[in-house]
Amino acid sequence: QKEVEQNSGPLSVPEGAIASLNCTYSDRGSQSFFWYRQYSGKSPELIMFIYSNGDKEDGRFTAQLNKASQYVSLLIRDSQPSDSATYLCAVRTQGGSEKLVFGKGTKLTVNP
Partner 1 sequence: GEEVAQTPKHLVRGEGQKAKLYCAPIKGHSYVFWYQQVLKNEFKFLISFQNENVFDETGMPKERFSAKCLPNSPCSLEIQATKLEDSAVYFCASSPTGGNYGYTFGSGTRLTVV
Interface with partner 1 (CB under 8 A): 8, 32, 34, 36, 38, 42-46, 49, 86, 88, 90, 92, 97-102, 104-105
> Quick one: 11 or 100, whose CB is closer to partner 1?
100
CB 46 to partner 1: min, Å: 4
In single-letter form, the type of residue at position 101 comes to: V
CB 16 to partner 1: min, Å: 27
Half-sphere exposure for 96 (CA within 13 Å, toward CB): 0
CB 47 to partner 1: min, Å: 10
CB 20 to partner 1: min, Å: 19
> Quick one: 91 or 110, whose CB is closer to partner 1?
91
Contact in structure between 100 and 33 (CB atoms under 8 Å): no
Report the length, in residues, of the chain.
Answer: 112
> Quick one: 84 or 92, whose CB is closer to partner 1?
92
3-state SS record for 39-104: CCCCCCEEEEEECCCEEEEECCEEEEEECCCCEEEEEECCCCHHHCEEEEEEEECCCCCCCEEECC
> Quick one: 71 or 102, whose CB is closer to partner 1?
102
